[in-house]
Structure 1
Amino acid sequence: MLTDEFDRQVENLVDKGYPDIAGLTKEEFKQQLEPLKDRVKELEKLKKEPQAGYVRFVIVVQSDWVDGEKAMQLVKRNNKMGFSVMDADDIKRFKPIEGIELPTGIAYLAVDIDTGKETLNITPNEAIKTIKEKHRTPLTLEEGIALITHFPDILQKNNGFSLLGSRCSDRRVTALWISGGKPKLGWCWAGNPHTWLGSASCGSRLGCD
């Protein structure tokens, strides 16, 4: 049941200390997320065969409540904690690109996620064209961190993914990959291909409304 997976993700966030960071009690935090459970129930009827690099949904906590730097430090994969080569101020410069409207509220669901194996070794500039042609939307920086927060093993050595849904005023795109055995948030140039980086996308975003 997808609702069981929703409950698992909520507890995962609680265990990692998200309520404290957001300035809420555990009960208040859970109450804020509870309306999303009804949206998860809507996904039960959408049948799709599981495949490598695919996830039905993840709970994404908005950066106004838990910023990207803190969230990345709470990622844990094989007993190794995540880290970022970007400082908090630099991360905050990356905002959703034109055409991406995030739901309101403390959190929302990113649905029908694909980490982009078919875009390995394709430049982000070209990959975003492919994503849009399929009527999908690139993952934002926060959505990428949420994905590996809930599914850390989806991040594989030599198979990370770029987060083209967030950009600042330069030619960089943020990306997640394994470095020294640890989950890493870094960046690459939008015009450069990498054999070990795809570009992640989702089908939709669902809020409480």
Structure 2
Amino acid sequence: MPDSASAHHIALPPLASQAERLIELGVHELAGTTAEDLRAFAEDGGGADGNTLLAVHPGLVPASALAPLLQLNGKSGFVVVDMPDVDLFAPHGVDLPDAPLYLVTGVDRGDHMANWSPEEALPALTEEHRTPLLLTEGIHWVLQQPDALERNHCFMTIGSRLRKAGGALDARTPAIWISNGSGRDGRERRNAPKVGWCWWGNRHTWLGFASATGRRP
């Protein structure tokens, strides 16, 4: 297992600015709420620092609806074609507030775990008293802070897993990175933000493991 490097933190905008960003993108409409409700929630979350993310519950706005809203290098985000079941990846081992909107605290990209497998990273995060980000939370993060996604410094979101018929977990684990425009992505998508997956037991030098210290309504 590679040596740990220092964790990489990227400051987030104030909650009020995050609310306005979601309103601009129409996320409140997708969630079936109002711009006023979103602004009020952000105001009530006062005291949050630059490492707190405003998120919409994945039961209201799934990853497939959020991914196309991503913008990077003038390109829109997309979900890989071999992940048509992306919205079936649900929270696993992560307790979400029972609320349409919630806050994710202590967000970190997990660069120090680059070249670890999900199988190796999960127990290490648990030992650090952290929980992995959900796929939707990772997308929310990049919507608010595009610099959270850098070529060769992207991240997995292993808080979302798919449970197959019979109860076993699917070996795929979701991640967000930048497309090279190869294969079925298409050359026109080179440098676009991409929602894809990696195997539970595989390592990738360019993928860390995004995580949080907590979640609250």
Residue 200 (1) aligns with residue 210 (2): yes
Give, in whole Å, the separation in 2 of the partners of 1:64 and 1:187.
20
TM-score (norm 2): 0.81
Give, in whole Å, the separation in 2 of the partners of 1:86 and 1:66.
20
Residue 19 (1) aligns with residue 28 (2): yes
Q: Is the 8 A contact 1:68 1:88 kept in 2?
A: no
Which residue pairs with 2:77 in the alignment? Answer: 82
Aligned length: 191
Residue 126 (1) aligns with residue 128 (2): no
Tell me how far 1:159 sits from its aligned partner. Answer: 1.2
Residue 95 (1) aligns with residue 90 (2): yes
Query: What is the RMSD of the two structures over their aligned residues, measured on CA atoms?
Result: 2.1
Aligned partner of residue 59 in structure 1, secondary structure: strand
CA, structure 1 residues 143+86, in 2 after alignment: closer, same or farther (shift >3 Å)? farther
> Deviation digits for residues 102-127 of structure 1, max 9, x if unmatched?
01211111111110110001111001
Give, in whole Å, the separation in 2 of the partners of 1:39 and 1:20.
21
CA, structure 1 residues 73+193, in 2 after alignment: closer, same or farther (shift >3 Å)? same
Give, in whole Å, the separation in 1 of the partners of 2:85 and 2:111.
27
Q: Is the 8 A contact 1:68 1:142 kept in 2?
A: yes
Q: Is the 8 A contact 1:75 1:183 kept in 2?
A: yes
Q: Is the 8 A contact 2:31 2:61 kept in 1?
A: yes
- Spell out the pairing of 1:1-209 with structure 2 (5 A cutoff): 5-31=14-40, 33-34=41-42, 37-41=43-47, 43-44=48-49, 56-85=51-80, 90-98=85-93, 100-169=94-163, 170-179=170-179, 180-207=190-217
Give, in whole Å, the separation in 2 of the partners of 1:122 and 1:80.
29
Tell me how far 1:27 sits from its aligned partner. Answer: 2.5
Give, in whole Å, the separation in 1 of the partners of 2:204 and 2:146.
21
Tell me how far 1:177 sits from its aligned partner. Answer: 0.4
Give, in whole Å, the separation in 1 of the partners of 2:146 and 2:15.
16
Q: Is the 8 A contact 2:135 2:160 kept in 1?
A: yes
CA, structure 1 residues 3+76, in 2 after alignment: closer, same or farther (shift >3 Å)? closer
Please tell me the residue identity of whatever aligns with 1:101.
D
Give, in whole Å, the separation in 2 of the partners of 1:86 and 1:28.
35
Identity of aligned residues (%): 37
Gaps of 5+ in 2: 1-10, 164-169, 180-189
Which residue pairs with 1:51 in the alignment? Answer: none
> Deviation digits for residues 19-61 of structure 1, max 9, x if unmatched?
2222334234434x24xx34441x45xxxxxxxxxx6011111
CA, structure 1 residues 69+116, in 2 after alignment: closer, same or farther (shift >3 Å)? same
